[in-house]
């Protein structure tokens, strides 16, 4: 894991050092992002997978601070004795990104978010049992003036009472500035 983090930081720093300064992001700009992640269990008797697709909207309140909302759909497959069960749920995320620079070639950012894994809460559970607080590092690499590939590595901690450990997610997608 340490090697992945060091590699990600090296790529971010190197790419940012080589980027050309130009107009960049401005206060009042808007951003739409299509992104997601997927994971699957390995090394166990059961074969489960989980993925999430988000459509996010954010607004730049300064040239470096993006605040937004990302509704999503979660899709999971769970192996049971009767076969494979497929579930879909609505999910959502409130987020804030702070960009370390605002050049149009690409820039690194730090991210904080509240992620609600489902809104379909069983009677015996509470809303926060399905909530996750996340922090992460990301990089937006622009391939034209308005569009970028957006990748972030995030660590999440469940808010459920008694939850142990955390989750690591690599999210990727396309962002559009307007």
pLDDT band at 17 (very low <50, low <70, confident <90, very high): very low
178 C-beta neighbours (distance < 10 Å), count: 7
Higher local confidence (pLDDT), 119 or 2? 119
Q: Is residue 103 predicted with pLDDT exceeding 50? A: yes
Cα gap 92→101, rounded to integer Å: 27
Number of domains in the chain: 1
* Domain of residue 25, residue span: 2-177
- Per-residue pLDDT of 31-85, as tens digits, reads 999 999 887 766 666 677 888 899 999 999 998 999 999 999 988 888 777 888 8
Contact 116/128 with Cβ under 8 angstroms?
Answer: no
Report the CATH number at residue 64. Answer: 2.40.160.20
pLDDT, mean over the chain: 83
Question: What is the reported pLDDT for 20?
Answer: 37
Q: Please identify which residue in the block is written with the tokens 């904080």.
A: 112
- Per-residue pLDDT of 146-177, as tens digits, reads 899 999 999 988 888 887 878 888 899 999 99
């Amino acid at each position: 894991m340490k090697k992945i983090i060091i590699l990600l930081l090296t790529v971010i720093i190197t790419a940012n050092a080589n980027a050309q300064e130009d107009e960049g992001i401005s206060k009042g700009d808007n951003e739409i992002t299509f992104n997601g992640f997927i994971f699957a269990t390995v090394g166990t008797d059961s074969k489960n997978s989980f993925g999430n697709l988000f459509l996010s909207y954010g607004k730049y309140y300064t040239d470096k601070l993006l605040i937004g909302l990302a509704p999503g759909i979660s899709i999971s497959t769970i192996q049971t004795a009767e076969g494979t069960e497929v579930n879909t749920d609505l999910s959502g995320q409130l987020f804030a990104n702070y960009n370390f620079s605002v050049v149009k070639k690409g820039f690194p950012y730090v991210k904080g978010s509240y992620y609600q894994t489902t809104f379909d809460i069983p009677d015996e559970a509470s809303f926060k049992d399905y909530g996750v607080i996340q922090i992460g590092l990301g990089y937006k690499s622009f391939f034209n003036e308005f569009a970028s590939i957006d990748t972030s590595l995030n660590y999440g901690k469940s808010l459920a009472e008694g939850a142990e450990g955390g989750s690591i997610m690599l999210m990727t997608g396309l962002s559009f500035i307007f």
